[in-house]
Amino acid sequence: MIELLFSISLFLSASLLFVIQPMAAKALLPVYGGTPAVWTICMLFFQSLLLLAYGYAHIVSRVRNTWLWRLFHISLVLITLISLPVVFTPFLKEGLPEVSILESLTLQLGLPLLVIGASAPLLQFAYSQTKEKRAGDPYFLYVASNIGSLLALIAYPWLIERYVGLHMQFYYWTIGYGLYVLLLLGIFFSISYQPHVDAKVAQINLSWLNIFKWVSFSFIPCSLLLGVTFYISADIAATPLLWVVPLALYLLSFIITFAKRPMIPNAWVARHILFFTIFPIVGFILHTNTVPVWQVIFFHLLTFFMLALLCHGRLVARRPPPNQLTLFYFCLALGGVLAGVFNSLLAPRIFIGAYEYPMVLALALLCIPLPKLKGRNYIPFIVLVLLMINYLLPGHGFLLQVKQSHFIEIVALILILLWPGSNITLFASMSILFIFLFSPWFQKTEILTQQRNFYGVKHVSVSAGAHVLTSQNTMHGFQLPGSAGLDGSVAYYGPMMTVVQRLQQAKQPLRATIIGLGTGIMTCQFRREDVVKIIDIDEQVINIATDPRFFTYLRDCPAKPLLIKGDGRLILQNSSDTKVDLLVVDAFSSDAIPTHLLTLEAVKLYQQKITADGVILAHISNRNLNLLPVLTTIARQLDMIILQKQQAENIKERQLASEWVLLTMNEAFAIKLMQQAGWRFVTGMNYHLWTDDYSNLIPLLKW
């Protein structure tokens, strides 16, 4: 009975701790532009909170009087009740968005989450002080905790997010927290505990090297977790579904490795781990955007899961006796915090690309227990020579075909995997390969600038004489030499031009607001007398578009728009400007979508900002998501006419494939577009209404 009571308490506390993570991050997204970095910062907060909680649990567990530490902890728990009910209202302050996010989370959620975070080590320690048969090895309770975490994460995108609004989610969480407090009171005051006894022998055997290994084997999978989550969500969407799946796999690796009889033995993982690393690395080499999204996600997550199993298996082999249990968990949390600091705070400032993921992927290879073989230390030098030859190959004829086929890079990878040598040799070889794959100095195209910040990675390259702006893996516009393209019709913007031209026939001047700057090419569709305002949240994008070394649209086109830095929806919300005739939403970074710009409340705001006969125009081109049903459902809700136009790729006309949606109350204008410009009326496609309280991407994925 006592064992069951402890298991239920740990299960509930873990569920509460992990289900609130996607809840809080989802609440933060609209305030911070829908960027995937929001989740990374949230993970840093929760990892830091666990570090504090585990540190607190370790200090409390050193108190010899069991009654005293139980009374102290319950007092802290009762103090947290003043923060109920939990209502999370994110705020935005001037300065670094990372600091503002951490401040919001700490002030509003910190105290109750600190108590819950301390549950895993403290309740396990408390169980070790009971008279139960299994008190000498309480690690089995860690499985109950991880199962609670895992089920909470699985339930969130598939059940909770789908059927419960965000406001009610926090309400139900408050009820769950109340139940947890009652369970904790029952455990601490209805069970007999033994006095704490130190195991001196175990303490003597503890070394700084052991502590370093605990931290290291925790840091690597945590950093990989953040890296792979950013990698897959940056090109799809910042959404709980793509946050919780990697985190669930991370927890599953803990459950498997800490089980008495692991389903996947660590020895098997160590023998086959190199095979599993092949898939993402081949993807890095080929740079293909034609692979179905589910394959990209599957193979990267598979490799991450196997590496997490490897590292956590090494942790289990070095776990201490119960008297050092709280210190062990503190070191695990410390590794997580270091990973969070590295991925969320340091990497965006010291790297100009998302290099932390491949860097730690290479670092994880040091965890493979390879035999120290002699005579193969030359492999890194062979890899270096092969890749230098590939880089220096002339860009024409047969040699160009060899270069474009990635044949030499594939040969280098095969060489590394077949003859890995020692851990150091394998790490060196893979690091050399990654340097050639990711460094801007070794790219096949000339990179004019590459920059990174909280909102992602973007670079300007030269391709066929054109300057090309790319965010993550998605091209966002280009400019050809000379004046070509100054009419604004190139790239994705042909459908937009058909709307602008017809609006200009009736509006003198035309008033327009655009959310999303890109290269600035949309400016060229407007006349000198038109009043244009462009909003973009990313200062680096603004700097690139206004720098004539990269793009000259803003300098050379007739219209001279007002550029405003900030989130488009928040700027509109706080603006009292005159209503506009045209509002364009084109604020997508890579293929990731800021969902808060496509909710019912967002479109209602757009409707309020346009004239009675005005138009809302949304660019919804996306490799991975079908967004048309979302806007169709919203249009039906608001009794607006919705039209769609798809532009086929036309290399001669310098046009790229794109999809646009138009919403308006102007029936005559809609008919005119359908008759003259090839727009079509959208019918059917009923879908669950997206609101600020509810959004779900699963049915929209192009699997």
Which among 273, 354, 329, 286 is positioned nearest to 118, based on CA atoms?
Answer: 329
The full DSSP string for 641-680 is: EEEEEEE--BTTTTB--EEEEEEES-HHHHHHHHHHS--E
Residue 503, domain member (yes or no): yes
Place of tokens 């009654």: 67
502, 581 in Cβ contact below 8 A? no
> How many domains in the chain?
3
C-alpha distances out from residue 124 to 1, 272, 411, Å: 15, 34, 50
Q: How far apart are CA 661 and CA 616, in angstroms?
A: 8
Q: Tell me the average confidence (pLDDT) per consecutive run of 10 residues in the chain, 703 residues long.
A: 86 94 90 83 93 86 78 89 88 85 94 88 81 72 84 90 89 95 87 60 65 94 94 72 88 86 89 90 78 81 96 88 79 94 93 92 90 70 89 70 78 87 88 90 85 90 90 83 64 91 93 95 94 95 95 92 92 89 82 79 96 96 86 95 93 85 97 95 84 81 71
Same domain? 652 vs 518: yes
Q: What is the CATH number of the domain that holds 225?
A: 1.20.1250.20
**Same domain assignment for residues 430 and 496:** no
Kindly state whether residues 351 and 412 are assigned to the same domain: no
In a domain, 262, yes or no: yes
Which residue type occupies 210?
N
Residue 675 CA to residue 567 CA, distance in Å, equals 35
pLDDT at 373: 56
pLDDT at 486: 64
Pick from 319, 347, 367: which residue ends a domain? 367
Q: Do 579 and 607 fall within a single domain?
A: yes
The reply to whether 453 falls in a domain is no
Question: Are 521 and 500 spatial neighbours (Cβ–Cβ below 8 Å)?
Answer: no
CA distance 183 to 223: 34
How far is residue 124 CA from its own chain's centroid?
32
Question: Considering the domain boundaries, does residue 459 fall inside one?
Answer: no
Are 137 and 276 in the same domain? Answer: yes
Structure tokens at 38: 């929001």
User: Considering only CA atoms, which of 566, 571, 563 is closest in space to residue 543?
Assistant: 563
Which among 626, 690, 29 has a CA at the least distance from the CA of 293?
626
In a domain, 85, yes or no: yes
Contact present, 188 and 338 (Cβ < 8 Å): no
Residue 537 lies in a domain: yes
User: How crowded is residue 527: how many other Cβ atoms within 10 Å of its Cβ?
Assistant: 14
Judgement on whether residues 186 and 305 belong to the same structural domain of the protein? yes
Rg (CA), the chain: 28
Specify the amino acid at residue 409: E
Residues 398 and 547 in one domain: no
Task: Return d(Cα 341, Cα 338) in angstroms, integer.
Answer: 5
Domain boundary among 344, 367, 390: 367
Q: How many C-beta atoms surround the C-beta of residue 96 within 10 A?
A: 11
For residue 514, the surrounding DSSP H or E stretch is: strand 511-515
Both 361 and 431 in one domain: the answer is no
Are residues 312 and 410 both part of a single domain?
Answer: no
pLDDT at 347: 92
Q: How far apart are CA 478 and CA 491, in angstroms?
A: 7
**Which residue range is the domain that position 287 belongs to?**
2-367
Pick the last residue of a domain from 318, 344, 367: 367
- The dihedral through the CA atoms of 627, 629, 631, 634 has a sign that is negative
Closest CA to 6 of 98, 130, 173: 130
Cα 499-500-501 angle, rounded to 5 deg = 95
pLDDT at 400: 65
**Would you say 654 and 484 are in contact if contact means Cβ atoms under 8 Å apart?**
yes
Residues 275 and 411 in one domain: no
Sheet containing 562-565: order of strands: 562-565, 531-536, 511-515, 580-585, 610-619, 658-664, 641-647, 680-681
For residue 467, being part of any structural domain is answered with no
The DSSP call for residue 618 is E
Q: How many Cβ atoms from other residues are within 10 Å of residue 641's Cβ?
A: 19
Residue 584 and residue 496 in contact, taking contact as beta carbons nearer than 8 Å: yes
The answer on 281 and 220 residing in a single domain is yes
Which among 556, 701, 695, 699 has a CA at the least distance from the CA of 166? Answer: 695
Quick check: is 473 in a domain?
Answer: no
Residue 467 is inside which H or E element, if any?
strand 466-471
CATH of the domain at 632: 3.40.50.150
395 and 331 assigned to the same domain: no
pLDDT given at position 645: 96
Burial of 174 from C-beta contacts in 10 A (0-12 / 13-18 / 19+): middle
